[in-house]
Amino acid sequence: MRGAVLLAAALLAADGADGAVGPSRAAQAGASASAVASDVLAPVLVSAPEWQRMREEGKRYPLFAGEQARVARSVRAAMAEGVVVPQPKDPGGGYTHEQHKRNYLVIQGAGTLYRLTGDRAYADFARDLLLAYARLYPTLGPHPAGRGQIPGRLFWQTLNDSVWLVHAIQGYDAIRETLDPRDRRRVDALFRRAARFLSDETPENFNRIHNHATWAVAGVGMTGYVLRDREMVEKALLGLSRDGEAGFLKQIDDLFSPDGYYEEGPYYQRYALAPFVIFANAIARNEPQRKIFAHKDGVLLKAVDALIQSSYAGYFFPINDAMLDKGLDTAELVAAIAIVYARSGDDRLLSIAQRQGRTVLTPEGLGVAEALAAGRAEPYRFRSMMLRDGAEGNGGGLAILREGGEDGQALVMKNTSQGMGHGHFDRLNWLFYDNGQRVVTDYGAARFLNVEAKSGGTYLPENSSWAKQTIAHNTLVVDERSHFDGDWKRGEAHAPTPLLFDVADGVQIVSARMAGAYDGVAFTRTQALVAHPELPFPVVVDLLRVDGAGPARYDLPLHFNGHVMTVGFEASRNIEERPVLGEANGYQHLWVDADSEASDRTRSLTWLLDGRFYTYRFGASAPTRALLVESGANDPEFNLRREPALVRRMDGRTDAAFFSVLEPHGAYDGTAETVHGADSRIRGVVHVRGEDADVIVLTLASGAILALAVADDADAGRAHRVAADGRTYAWTGAYARFDARAGDDGSNRPRTEEMP
């Protein structure tokens, strides 16, 4: 409460003209600010007593002390080089871009170190950098490498200018008291000018409901607190018109689902998360009465869990535009963990902090370091869950099925909405992880972040021509066209309909239906992770049914990771010349390695990845061809990774069903030179369509039967009956799993487990 009262006074005091800081005008340079002045000069993003506590206690806790040493090394290196504030010139990855990025980290770091050590040299260096910016900034127009509709001033994108502001204002908050009045007026004016550019002068950015705008409102809002400018804070919270139709609160409402899923997906979630939690923390400190962390039922706290859950082996699920190497150690999540831990006290967050090996030099970071030093870390509980998408939770969702712990199996089914401009055209796509590896993959984004030689480090042309296209994903393509014909704005209007999500013993299952991706076509996909005592690991059962608009070509790709061991079907091989699969919509980027005749037999493909075998058995309701392809065609600049895929192709049907089973098995141990379980434990897979349901029957090596039945209708009370393979499967509800021992003959109904 004290902070809030102080701030109220400060905001009042700042209501005067720019720089009207009253008593401090009279203060001598270098003298400590008077008691009255401190009301409008004292740090507000972290309070003076908090700084004092960190200064006293930080060295006791290795994580905090290590972080301080790390920051000190980089700040001292910058101090040794002196003030380097170059004329903006280069795009992302270029020299001036990287130098300005470095500078904002140094400004923040130097301000922090001043508070943590009392060494005035740090404050002076941050001041000198800021004064250099105060001189440079007013001279700048649009960045010469300006990109998009709104070029930045210091950087090519306003986004980077916003990030500069978020960091620099934190550094300035820490040292503002130390400046003499003339310098302070200059630096205040710099921040006012930067905040004005990022708000009033660029409303088309600031008022958006988009992560770029979150960085802008965070920077502007925190600047408002530091400069005691209530109007600036209110614009940040409520939009330029201060009516709540834009701004931070509206962004929280609209960009996060009730489960904390961020509509662009995990990659942008971790990026957006930083300004959300950092600004929210500043709001909580300065205006606790807003109860910002309780806003929308505490969604900002849920969002951090949702983001951590959206990862495997430390890396985020790379759905939509995403870099594969981005994961839990991302700098943005370091601050978020600390801030959420300070609120929730959930010791499982500590194991994430431990893995990051870093924290932030804030009171919240001190809390994490203290708790870790006290040995309070608990393992994070990665679990099966459905993260609903959409502001109201009605825009589909991301289903995560896990088994066998953190490095066990994870099946991710992407039943989310479009996710705006960074969304991919991949409704009902799926990914599969096992044994710490990406097994069924998503290409992620075609981009080399900040590598200037690759389109200046921005998204490559192949991001649109390949990575976003449906064929680059593991879901249905109709007539070689992508979902919504690749128009994301059309995609925004259509969300999948969740049908089923259940986590039971031995079966975890999810199902959803998608309509609108193609005119008149609806497709329904059910995926399950099914365990059996005779199988070393759970298998994935996949059923995709299409209700078509007329005869069409249906392609169902599987992008897999590993080296092909056995191609379990006849195929003609292109071994001396490699043709391209198609003309457009991503097909032009696929080389065709092998192509089979159409057949209605269930076929198989086995590959080896990191010492484990994966056998994929697949069939369909009508004859399909099986093509083995690889990305990398029509790629003049070597922009694409070259990765294999299997394409199942059915021509000329209106309605169709595709079924498959993916089975991890065996072990290849290169060190011990042993192999076991290289043969699949599944003898065959059969699919039977009943009147109102499907049954997929697996016959295991022992002859044991494992069947999964899925009703069209998820109604828990409805009874179903399907005759298949000499047996009758009867159950009530959306799905059922059946087990029969080897030797049971068709006359015996298998043991039936009815499930809700």
Q: How far is CA 52 from CA 177, 203, 282, in A?
A: 15, 39, 18
Q: How far is the CB of 25 from its own copies (least distance, A)?
A: 40
Reading the block at residue 589, the tokens are 């980027």
* Residue in the structure block whose two tokens are 């000190």: 72
Closest CA to 585 of 442, 495, 479: 479
Among residues 141, 533, 550, 636, the one that binds its own copies under rule CB under 8 A: 636
Torsion angles phi and psi, residue 699, rounded to 5: -105, 120
Binders of its own copies in range 436-475 (CB under 8 A): 448-454, 457
| Cβ contacts of 52 within 8 Å, gap of 6 or more | none
Closer of 101 and 481 to its own copies (Cβ)? 101
587 assigned to active site = no
Does 606 participate in binding its own copies (rule CB under 8 A)? Answer: yes
Among residues 210, 326, 617, 720, the one that binds its own copies under rule CB under 8 A: 326
Site size with its own copies, rule: CB under 8 A: 53
Among residues 8, 136, 323, 584, the one that binds its own copies under rule CB under 8 A: 323
Closer of 369 and 605 to its own copies (Cβ)? 605
The alpha carbon of 35 is separated from its chain's Cα centroid by a whole number of angstroms, namely 46
Reading the block at residue 109, the tokens are 């770091």
Q: How far is the CB of 76 from its own copies (least distance, A)?
A: 18
String marking each residue 168-187 x if it binds its own copies according to CB under 8 A? --------------------
Q: How far is the CB of 264 from its own copies (least distance, A)?
A: 16
C-beta neighbour count of 754 within 10 angstroms: 11
Does 73 participate in binding its own copies (rule CB under 8 A)? Answer: no
Q: How far is the CB of 572 from its own copies (least distance, A)?
A: 10
The string of DSSP letters for 514-559 reads: EEEEETTEEEEEEEEEE--TTSSS-EEEEEEEEEEEEEEEEEEEEE
* Residue in the structure block whose two tokens are 């009301």: 39
Reading the block at residue 61, the tokens are 């806790």
The alpha carbon of 317 is separated from its chain's Cα centroid by a whole number of angstroms, namely 6
Region at 589 (left for phi over 0; alpha for psi -120 to 50; beta for the rest): alpha
C-beta neighbour count of 637 within 10 angstroms: 11
Q: Given 212, 422, 494, 532, which residue is catalytic?
A: 422
Closer of 267 and 293 to its own copies (Cβ)? 267
Does 137 participate in binding its own copies (rule CB under 8 A)? Answer: no
Reading the block at residue 703, the tokens are 């002859």
Contact assessment for residue 622 and residue 659, using Cβ atoms and an 8 Å cutoff? no
CA 480, CA 752: separation in Å to the nearest integer? 41
The full length of the chain comes to 756
Alpha-helical segments (H) within 357-452? 363-373
Does 674 participate in binding its own copies (rule CB under 8 A)? Answer: yes
Does 701 participate in binding its own copies (rule CB under 8 A)? Answer: no
Paired strand residues for 689: 694
The string of DSSP letters for 110-154 reads: HHHHHHHH--HHHHHHHHHHHHHHHHHGGG--S-TT--SSS--SS
Q: Which stretch binds its own copies (CB under 8 A): 4-12, 203-211, 422-430, 673-681?
A: 673-681
Binders of its own copies in range 558-597 (CB under 8 A): 563-567, 573, 575-580, 591, 593
CA 552, CA 311: separation in Å to the nearest integer? 36
Q: How far is the CB of 421 from its own copies (least distance, A)?
A: 19
Does 318 participate in binding its own copies (rule CB under 8 A)? Answer: no
C-beta neighbour count of 182 within 10 angstroms: 11
Closer of 182 and 573 to its own copies (Cβ)? 573
Does 642 participate in binding its own copies (rule CB under 8 A)? Answer: yes
Reading the block at residue 588, the tokens are 């032009």
268 assigned to active site = yes
Q: How far is the CB of 567 from its own copies (least distance, A)?
A: 7
The string of DSSP letters for 557-570 reads: EEEB-SEEEEE-S-
Binders of its own copies in range 78-117 (CB under 8 A): 93, 98, 101
Binders of its own copies in range 380-399 (CB under 8 A): none
Q: How far is the CB of 93 from its own copies (least distance, A)?
A: 5
CA 725, CA 687: separation in Å to the nearest integer? 9
Closer of 218 and 401 to its own copies (Cβ)? 218
Q: How far is the CB of 578 from its own copies (least distance, A)?
A: 4
Contact assessment for residue 666 and residue 697, using Cβ atoms and an 8 Å cutoff? no
Q: How far is the CB of 107 from its own copies (least distance, A)?
A: 16
* Residue in the structure block whose two tokens are 């959306």: 734
Among residues 634, 654, 728, 732, the one that binds its own copies under rule CB under 8 A: 634
Does 330 participate in binding its own copies (rule CB under 8 A)? Answer: yes
Q: Which stretch binds its own copies (CB under 8 A): 46-54, 178-186, 416-424, 667-675?
A: 667-675
Binders of its own copies in range 178-237 (CB under 8 A): none
Closer of 206 and 668 to its own copies (Cβ)? 668
Closer of 23 and 611 to its own copies (Cβ)? 611
Q: How far is the CB of 330 from its own copies (least distance, A)?
A: 6
Among residues 375, 638, 691, 717, the one that binds its own copies under rule CB under 8 A: 638
Among residues 678, 686, 730, 755, the one that binds its own copies under rule CB under 8 A: 678
Q: Given 268, 312, 315, 554, which residue is catalytic?
A: 268
CA 353, CA 338: separation in Å to the nearest integer? 8
Active site residues: 268, 422
Kindly list the residues in this chain that would bind its own copies in the complex (CB under 8 A): 93, 98, 101, 323, 325-327, 329-331, 448-454, 457, 563-567, 573, 575-580, 591, 593, 606, 608, 628, 630, 633-638, 641-642, 668, 670-676, 678
